Amino acid sequence: MSEINKKRIAVLVSGSGTNLQSIIDNVENGNLNCEITYVIADRECYSLQRAEKHRIKNLLLDRKIIDNKLANEIIDSTLKESKTDYIVLAGYLSILTEKFIKEWDRKVINIHPSLLPKFGGKGMYGIKVHEAVIKAGEKESGCTVHFVTNEIDAGEIITNVKVPVLEDDTPETLQKRVLEQEHKLLIKGIKKIL
Ligand code: GRF
Q: What is the pLDDT of residue 1?
A: 52
Distance 43 CA to ligand 1 centre (A): 14
Nearest CA to ligand 1 atom 1: 91
Average pLDDT over residues 22-45: 98
Residue pLDDT, tens place only, 173-188: 999 999 999 999 999 9
Pick from 61, 65, 44: nearest CA to 10: 61
| Inter-CA distances, 164 with 36, 84, 134, 137, 157, Å | 33, 36, 11, 12, 20
Q: Residue 80's pLDDT band (boundaries 50, 70, 90)? A: very high
Question: Which of 11, 13, 18, 19 should be mutated for ligand 1, with most atoms under 8 A from CB?
Answer: 19
Active centre residues (catalytic): 112
CATH architecture classification, 5-191:
3-Layer(aba) Sandwich (3.40)
Q: Where are the domains of the chain?
A: 5-191
Nearest CA to ligand 1 atom 10: 91
Average pLDDT over residues 107-112: 98
Report how far residue 9's alpha carbon sits from residue 164's, in angstroms, rounded to the nearest whole number: 31
Ligand 1 atom with the shortest distance to the CA of 20: 13
CA angle 159–169–162, rounded 5-degree value = 15
User: What is the pTM assigned to this prediction?
Assistant: 0.96
Q: What is the pLDDT of residue 4?
A: 67
Strands (E), 46-188: 58-60, 86-89, 108-112, 140-147, 157-164
